[in-house]
């Protein structure tokens, strides 16, 4: 596969965090406290059985709005100890307070994280100049590579193309988790920068690859990881027929995992499989019986069995 655009040859092919990452849920015990043993078991399963090259911990899927700073640091340490020799561990540290984000970034680095996921500051709706200031300050604060998280439907503000091009000049800002769903904008950024684009929407992974993306930070990949990686590798090898076939097979679960908030269904599915998950913390609520039945149907439609 060649890259003919004006940016340096091969730039879009760089994969600082591998091809496949899962935004890991945070297991809790029955009483709602942090389950570090469960987190280690789940991380090991995601790397060894589902083929993840890296894991994102303390992201939104990991219920980061409800975990304390101390819990976040302990979780990073536990996951690094469990899988850090065989996969990269990326710590979500983004908040809508630059100072707090820097504190979380420093703590994640100290705990052994290999990279940082930094979401657009939410609710405050800063201008693009504020985003540059925020992301640059966080990237300056540690020696870790940074993945920006562009998700305007949650944050309220997109990271505009020119802002991304400017941020790409920073030596440690190396990747984007894209949940904006604008493949044209992605095309412009990947043609003008070295930023590695990871789809933040499971169902858009294959089309994102076609315009310069390099992989996925997934949610359904708690269950679809091995097959999703097969899809990405098939695309890389030029086997578009196989890539499209796998995409179509997994589409029911790529989309079905978001019938309600993704963490809710991932935890319900993991529990059905006997994997560590535990309850969700409020304001999230447990999956209903009807939602679990639908998840089971979506898994079956994707050719994956969810135990009764």
> Among all residues, which ones are annotated catalytic?
149, 177
d(CA 236, CA 255): 23
Sign of CA dihedral 248, 182, 194, 57: negative
CA-nearest of 256, 248, 250 to 303 is 250
Distance of CA 219 to the CA centre of its chain: 7
154 neighbors 121 (Cβ within 8 angstroms): no
List the Cα angle 253/258/260 in 5-degree steps.
130
13 neighbors 214 (Cβ within 8 angstroms): yes
Question: Coil, strand, or helix at residue 26?
Answer: coil
d(CA 158, CA 160): 6
**Where would I find the beta strands (DSSP E) of 42-172?**
54-57, 88-92, 115-119, 146-150
**Where would I find the beta strands (DSSP E) of 202-258?**
215-218
């Amino acid at each position: 596969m060649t890259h003919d655009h004006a940016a340096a040859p091969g730039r879009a092919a760089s994969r600082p965090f591998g091809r496949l990452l899962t935004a890991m849920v945070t297991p809790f015990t029955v009483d709602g406290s942090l389950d570090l043993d469960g987190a280690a078991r789940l991380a090991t399963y995601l790397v060894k059985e589902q083929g993840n090259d890296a894991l994102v911990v303390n992201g939104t899927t990991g219920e980061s709005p409800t975990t304390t700073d101390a819990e976040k640091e302990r979780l990073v340490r536990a996951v690094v100890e469990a899988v850090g020799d065989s996969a990269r561990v990326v710590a979500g540290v983004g908040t809508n307070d630059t100072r707090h984000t820097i504190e979380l970034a420093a703590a994640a680095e100290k705990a052994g994280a290999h990279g940082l996921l930094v979401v657009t500051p939410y609710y405050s709706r800063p201008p693009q100049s504020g985003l540059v200031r925020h992301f640059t300050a966080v990237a300056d604060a540690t020696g870790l590579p940074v993945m920006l998280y562009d998700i305007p439907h949650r944050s309220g503000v997109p990271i505009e193309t020119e802002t991304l091009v400017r941020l790409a000049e920073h030596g440690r800002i190396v990747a984007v988790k894209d949940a904006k769903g604008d493949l044209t904008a992605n095309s412009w950024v990947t043609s003008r920068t070295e930023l590695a684009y990871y789809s933040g929407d499971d169902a858009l992974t294959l089309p994102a690859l076609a315009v310069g993306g390099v992989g996925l930070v997934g949610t359904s990949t708690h269950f679809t990881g091995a097959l999703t990686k097969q899809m990405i590798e098939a695309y890389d090898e030029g086997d578009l027929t196989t890539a499209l076939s796998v995409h179509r097979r997994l589409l029911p679960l790529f989309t079905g995992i978001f019938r309600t908030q993704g963490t809710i269904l991932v935890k319900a599915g993991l529990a059905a499989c006997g994997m560590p998950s535990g309850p969700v913390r409020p304001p999230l609520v447990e999956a209903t019986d009807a939602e679990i039945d639908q998840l089971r149907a979506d898994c079956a439609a994707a050719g994956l069995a969810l135990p009764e």
